[in-house]
Structure 1
Amino acid sequence: MRLKGIRSSRNVEDRRGRGMGRAAGGIGGVGVIAVLLIGYFTGIDVRPLLEGVQQSPSSNSEPRELTAAEEQAGEFAARVLATTETVWEKVYPEQVGEAYEPPVLVLFSGVTQSPCGGASGATGPFYCPADEKAYLDTEFFATLSQELGAQGDFASAYVIAHEVAHHVQNELGILGQVNSIRQQSSQEEGNALTVRLELQADCLSGVWARSVDGLLEPGDIEEAVNAARMIGDDTLQRRAGRTPQPHTFTHGTSEQRARWFTRGYETGDMGACDTFGTDRL
Structure 2
Amino acid sequence: MQTNISPASQPSMEAPKGGNFRKIFRIFLPFFSNAKSTVGFIIFCIFVVIAIFAPIIAPYDPSAAIHVPNLSPTADHWFGTTNTGQDIYSQFIYSARSTMVVGFGAGILSTIIGLIFGVVGGYRGGLTDAILGFITNIFLVMPGLALMIVIQAYLTASSPYLTGLIIALTGWAWGARVFRAQTMTLANRDFILAAKMSGMSSFRIMVTQICPNMMSIIAGNIMFATLGAILAEAGLAFLGFEDINSISWGTMLYWASNNAALIRGAWWWFIPPGLGIGLVGLSLVLMNFAVDQITNPRLKVQKRRKNHGSKAARA
Q: Same fold (TM over 0.5)?
A: no
**TM-score between both structures, scaled by the size of structure 2:** 0.25
Higher strand residue share: 1
By relative contact order (CA 8 Å, sep 6+), the higher-ranking structure is: 2
Larger Rg: 2
Higher helix residue share: 2
